[in-house]
Structure 1
Amino acid sequence: MSEATPPASWPRPYWQPGEDEVVLQFYVFGKFEPELRIPSLRYGSPGLPAGVEIQRFQNAVLRQWEGYPLNGALGGLIKEDTPEAYEAARIAPEVLVVRGVLKDAASLDYLRDTLGVLAGMLDVGGTAILDPQILTLFTADHWRRHYLVKDGAPPRNHVLILRSDEGGDRSWVHTRGMRKFGRPDLSLRNVPERDLDRAGMLCEKLVELLSLGAHFSAGQQLDVDGIPGGLVAQPGGSLDDPEFNNTHVEFRWAG
């Protein structure tokens, strides 16, 4: 994208004002010049939105922090899932931590602008980006393929959809990462094996609806083909819930 091209807005057609808060947090591992000049304009970003900040750390210093993301359970998961990215992050001399809490907004321009800055960081020494909200560490090339998509990556790319066994032939389909949109995560309980693909596709559609500003109220019915009476929304949970690190809205599969 030319630096002279004004960035296109990322609208939220279903948005209504509320008290929701957006949480952004990313770790960019690499080696950077003493004076950090991030070419975010080439990615359609004028810079970080107000409320989002960059902190710069030596990796060896940050590693002593109790919550260092390459340690503990998250570090073990990352090392197993993406060993190449884990090694790039481990040996990187520096870490740029991008984080902020924002008020819910009528557009996703805040996300567009933040992603543009992250892309620019990869051009000036970044080698890996960790998104702890979706438990994923990306190499620079993987991150570019995943997010540098014309007109913006779809909401599904920003969210992790998981399946957990509930016993018998029943599964729990749930998400992580919706705090980036200021929305609760999704929880689909009691999903039979025969409906797993359908539940996954439904989850993707609901992620898109919520990310574009929709809300589900308690008791709201969601019509789903093949499920008599549909699914009923039950908001709940808390930001401290380790399963989501977020509130969530639950639907229980019938049948």
Structure 2
Amino acid sequence: MARVTIEPWTRPAFQPTGATATAMLVVFADDDVLGAAPDLQLKGMVPAGSPVAALDLRGHHHADGPEWMDGWRGGAVRTIAERDLGDLGRLDDAKCCYSVTVTVDDPRDLTHLQLAWAVAAALARQGAFAVLDVHAVTWLPGPAVADLPADRPFVVQREVSLTAETTPAPGFGHPVHTRGMVKFGRPDLVAGVAADGIEHTAQVLNHLARMLAEGHVLTPGQLLRFDGQRTLRVEPYEPGGAVPEVNLNNEGLLLV
């Protein structure tokens, strides 16, 4: 059978910024699934030229660092795990996890993301059962990651999450924002809207996230026109006063 050629996820509108892009996945397993001589079998699973030298794969045993490992399955991340995974008994009992980190400077393509997911998929095929996308703050079951086609197209919604806060901030509205844009070396996006504007704003943020993933750049002072009716101004996201803190763990841009 002929081997499928894995095409790189491209950035057709790439503009250099000097920013660092990083993907980080935390992969949970009942116990060590790699052993002393790991073989991830990545050949044919990532595009040629993937930044393998930038891959940082580490195994973590609960007994050696319980606080570090438990930090990825507690607090607010646990609430999201309950939403995405359901029963957390196996997650609580896991004795091992792996951190998969790929960090690159100003990437002209998105092969670093393909590499990170290929490593997570390899771990899942070895028996790991849950994957946390750290920057998007989403969870996937291991079998779903193991089954990801290596030649799948890029879909921004699989890499970036959208959050709409249910409680409005006085003078700002309901915060709607992205998480995960650091994976492209781009800032996350934040907007404040009335309740009836959440859905439309989410669509706008999805569109802009795709543009940034493709390499576009948004700059403070830039005006964006949508649907011939709505104009948004790009500003730095600086929490304070009427602008709420949404804990991006990344730089942000505010759309006003």
Superposed counterparts of 1:42-121, under 5 Å: 42-44=44-46, 49-65=52-68, 68-75=71-78, 77-82=79-84, 84=86, 86-121=88-123
Question: What amino acid sits opposite 1:89 in the alignment?
Answer: L
Q: Deviations over 1:201-228 (max 9, x none)?
A: 1111011001111111111010022645
Q: Give the equivalent residue in structure 2 for 1:20.
A: 19
Query: How far off its partner does 1:150 sit?
Result: 5.1
TM-score (normalised: structure 2): 0.84
Query: Is residue 12–residue 211 contact of structure 1 (8 Å, CA) maintained in 2?
Result: yes
Superposed counterparts of 1:174-253, under 5 Å: 174-189=177-192, 191-225=193-227, 227=229, 230-237=231-238, 243-252=247-256
Q: Deviations over 1:113-156 (max 9, x none)?
A: 221121111111211111121222221134356x5485334011
SS state of the match for residue 210, structure 2?
helix
Q: Give the equivalent residue in structure 1 for 2:161.
A: 160
- Please state if 1:171 is matched with 2:170: no
Distance 1:79 1:16, change over 3 A: closer
Aligned residues: 245
Two-structure CA RMSD over aligned residues (Å): 2.7
Distance 1:125 1:153, change over 3 A: same
Query: Is residue 134–residue 159 contact of structure 1 (8 Å, CA) maintained in 2?
Result: yes
SS state of the match for residue 158, structure 2?
helix
Gaps of 5+ in 1: none
Identify which of 131, 136, 139 aligns with 2:138: 136
Query: How far off its partner does 1:42 sit?
Result: 4.6
Aligned sequence identity (%): 22
Question: What amino acid sits opposite 2:14 in the alignment?
Answer: W
